A and B are shown apart, each in its own frame.
Chain A
Amino acid sequence: MSIDSRDFEYLRDFLMKSSGLVVKPEKEYLLKSRLEPLVRSKGMASISELVSKMKAPSARDLQNTVTDAMTTNESLFFRDKSPFEHLDDIMLPYLLEARKTRRKVRIWCAASSTGQEPYSVAMSLKEQAVKVAGWNFEIIGTDISKTVLAKASAGEYTQFEVQRGLPIKLLLKYFTQKGENWVLNEDIRKMVKYQEGNLLESFSNIGKFDIVFCRNVLIYFDLDTKRQVLEKIAKQMDPDSYLLLGAAETVMGVCDKFESVKGARGLYKMK
């Protein structure tokens, strides 16, 4: 059964407004496949019933659950590898020189999902312990979804998850076994702070960052939203800070505040 066209429009507009997610008409099946399990688990009869409950005045939680169900949370450790090589080879050498009077570096993972990205940053820094001794690193992970933030804070991953992108030597070094799962050791976990943050809203109280990871989230937005988000991110950066985007994302034709760093895929600086 297909979704009633008015329900589809309501859901499309709601998702656009709440998270920036674009749902094209041909992606109606995605709405169905992700919302039907939710409908069943809530004991509702149909997507229509879900939509009418979402319109109720006290439906905030239900709305969040819908946003949660529709956003893609997939992540992996050291995703695409190269951003972490850029961290070791380009960003750290530069920042260790440029920030040497304040000896502090702030790193933001916007849309950090279940934590693999900020924790990969933390492990990379730990691996460079000698070089960064005496420095203060602050890593902040933000995401729109409370569910993924809770999982990220717990730092507990399945056997499947720790086998995606994580070298075995780092698993041995930084994780402890807990039943079938693996838990990140506390010294890595406490390097990262998580907080709720919607990229569509203002984030001026979060401060300025030297490195911003904003990866694999802009792809879900339309051009205007991408531009607005990138311009807001630029305001949280110093003129010589770095920005990292996902493998399928670019600033080209989207935002003219950034230019790519030559020879480093996915890495940008402000113009």
Chain B
Amino acid sequence: MKRCLVVDDSSVIRKVARRVLEELDFEIIEAEDGQKALDQCFEDMPEAILLDWNMPVMDGLEFLMQLRSSKNGDKPKVIFCTTENDISHIAQAVQAGADEYIMKPFDREILENKFHEVGLI
């Protein structure tokens, strides 16, 4: 079973994502900010990361840059999932190593589509 780390400071979003992704046969781990997510990755690198942008302590972009420059940090597929919907944010994320990008609000179909796009399903 593939594991997906869901990083979002909103427990509601984490729950929604968990519900959809569990149906797609992922094992879910949750983190509420970038620092906790990074700790989790160093302990045990997941195959997929669904990543919010704005979070306390460490935001998603900072997390991604640190992840990509650490050992095995190039392995997980990272999909941003954020309300930052403008082209400059998207460009920044892609440049920092995001594989895909979901603009909130999203639905089940978009989530599934993007996981398909990066080859996780």
Interface size on B, residues (CB 8 A): 17
Report whether A168 and B101 are in contact in the complex, using a CB–CB cutoff of 8 Å: yes
Q: Does B42 contact A (CB under 8 A)?
A: no
Report whether A167 and B90 are in contact in the complex, using a CB–CB cutoff of 8 Å: no
Report whether B94 and A163 are in contact in the complex, using a CB–CB cutoff of 8 Å: no
- B 29-65 to A, binary, CB cutoff 8 A, 1 in contact else 0: 0000000000000000000000000000000000000
Report whether A172 and B90 are in contact in the complex, using a CB–CB cutoff of 8 Å: yes
Q: How far is the CA of A222 from the CA of B82 in the complex (A)?
A: 45
Report whether A164 and B90 are in contact in the complex, using a CB–CB cutoff of 8 Å: no
Chain A residues in 8 Å Cβ range of B117 = 167
Chain A residues in 8 Å Cβ range of B113 = 163-165
Name the residue of chain A whose CB is nearest to the CB of B86. A177
Q: How far is the CA of A168 from the CA of B103 in the complex (A)?
A: 10
Chain B residues in 8 Å Cβ range of A165 = 113
Interface size class of A (residues with CB under 8 A): 10 to 19
Report whether A168 and B86 are in contact in the complex, using a CB–CB cutoff of 8 Å: no
Q: Does B67 contact A (CB under 8 A)?
A: no
Report whether B102 and A163 are in contact in the complex, using a CB–CB cutoff of 8 Å: yes
Contacts A163-B106, A168-B94 known; 19 new A-B pairs at CB < 8 A: A159-B85, A159-B103, A160-B110, A163-B102, A163-B103, A163-B113, A163-B114, A164-B110, A164-B113, A165-B113, A167-B100, A167-B117, A168-B90, A168-B98, A168-B101, A169-B94, A171-B90, A172-B90, A172-B94
Q: How far is the CA of A167 from the CA of B102 in the complex (A)?
A: 10
Chain B residues in 8 Å Cβ range of A168 = 90, 94, 98, 100-101
Q: How far is the CA of A169 from the CA of B90 in the complex (A)?
A: 9
- B 80-99 to A, binary, CB cutoff 8 A, 1 in contact else 0: 00000111001100100010
- Tell which of A159, A168, A171, A177 has the most Cβ of chain B within 10 Å: A168
Q: Give me the interface of B with A, judged by CB distance under 8 Å.
A: 85-87, 90-91, 94, 98, 100-103, 106, 109-110, 113-114, 117
**A168-B100, A168-B101 known; A163-B90 Cβ under 8 A:** no
Chain A residues in 8 Å Cβ range of B101 = 168
Q: How far is the CA of A169 from the CA of B106 in the complex (A)?
A: 18
Name the residue of chain A whose CB is nearest to the CB of B107. A160
Report whether A172 and B110 are in contact in the complex, using a CB–CB cutoff of 8 Å: no
- A 184-207 to B, binary, CB cutoff 8 A, 1 in contact else 0: 000000000000000000000000
Question: Smallest distance from the beta carbon of B70 to chain A beta carbons, Å?
Answer: 23
Name the residue of chain A whose CB is nearest to the CB of B93. A168
Q: Which of B91, B102, B106, B109 contacts A172 (CB 8 A)?
A: B91
Name the residue of chain B whose CB is nearest to the CB of A182. B87
Question: Smallest distance from the beta carbon of A83 to chain B beta carbons, Å?
Answer: 16
Chain B residues in 8 Å Cβ range of A176 = 87
What are 9 A-B pairs with beta-carbon distances under 8 A? A159-B85, A159-B103, A163-B114, A164-B110, A168-B90, A168-B98, A169-B94, A172-B87, A177-B86
